[in-house]
Amino acid sequence: MEKWMWHRLLLWEVTIQISLFDSTVIVPLPMHEPLATCTVERWYAAPGVERISIKCGRVRGALFLPPGPGPFPGLIDLFGGAGGLIEFRAGLLASKGFAVLALAFFAYDDLPQTLEVIDLEYFEEASRLLLKNPKVRGPGLGVIGLSKGAEIALAMSTFLKEVVASVSINGPTRMTGTSLHFHDVRIPETSYPSEKVVINEMGLASTFYCLGHPLDQAPEVSAIPVEKAQGHILFVVGEADQSLNSKVFAEAAMARAKKHGNNNCSLLSYPGAGHLIEPPGSPVCYAYPLRFSLIPIQWGGEMKPHAKAQEHSWNEILNFFKLHLGPLQNSSL
């Protein structure tokens, strides 16, 4: 079994030991004794799903193909500040009949170890590579992203003609901490003031106030111009997100799009849900450290409403992609 992160399950096919602690324990430490434990097995891909390592041109990632001749609707799957290559959601989506490229964009293989700029031409290259696969049905594809990946998914939907449907999960709607470059387009970043990080009584860091309000003293030039998006956008937000005020960012982007006559945005908002809204069955992750942080980051969320949000949003996301990419077919799943 490979360990990816402290208190963060991002594994492929594993045997998991689940421990139940007293309700006063938020982040288990070695001195805490569990009330009960059990062991379960979890698979993130259905039998017959094929995984193909991708190293073509600049593109790095892993392609997951459902069994059968296809062609299948194509998706690009993006995660955030953890970097590396995270594959479990791509395997689950492939198990539902999509051809999915889990795409790395920093801190993996020979990619840059830090994220200095969002070079959207890299994501354009990945989109075209996916659409060239004979098992991928065009002419357009979908993108799903979480956190920084959600910000990139929104930019892809705005600027790339290949993207016709995108899901943005708890991400900012302006370039934050990194600028965007795409051919002759430049969108400068807004600052990420570390002095606004709040440390709670458990020693967990909240970045909620670092990004502020999308309309407060934010340069208009840093906003992603979602009104230019030709495809459909689904915002998924947790109202208890401690990373940023996700709902306010999503509502500001939707208002901006609507002001310019673009009504292709929709919103799913979940009270009590935190930042890491993932597929159902994924462990609710309240806190874990990122590469740039010396202490664990607080992601927020209450156990029951967050788990319910994961279950409900997953079905809505699948239905969203089926609606805008066409029905699933020619798969033996």
**Residue numbers annotated as active site:** 147, 241, 275
- Strand pairing class (185-187; 198-199): unpaired
Q: Is 240 left (phi over 0), alpha (psi -120 to 50) or beta?
A: alpha
Parallel, antiparallel, or unpaired for β 297-298 and 287-288?
A: antiparallel
In order of 16, 20, 21, 150, 263, the CA distances from 77 in angstroms are 24, 31, 33, 10, 24
Sign of the C-alpha dihedral computed for residues 230, 212, 272 and 41 taken in this order = positive
The two structure tokens encoding residue 260: 């310019």
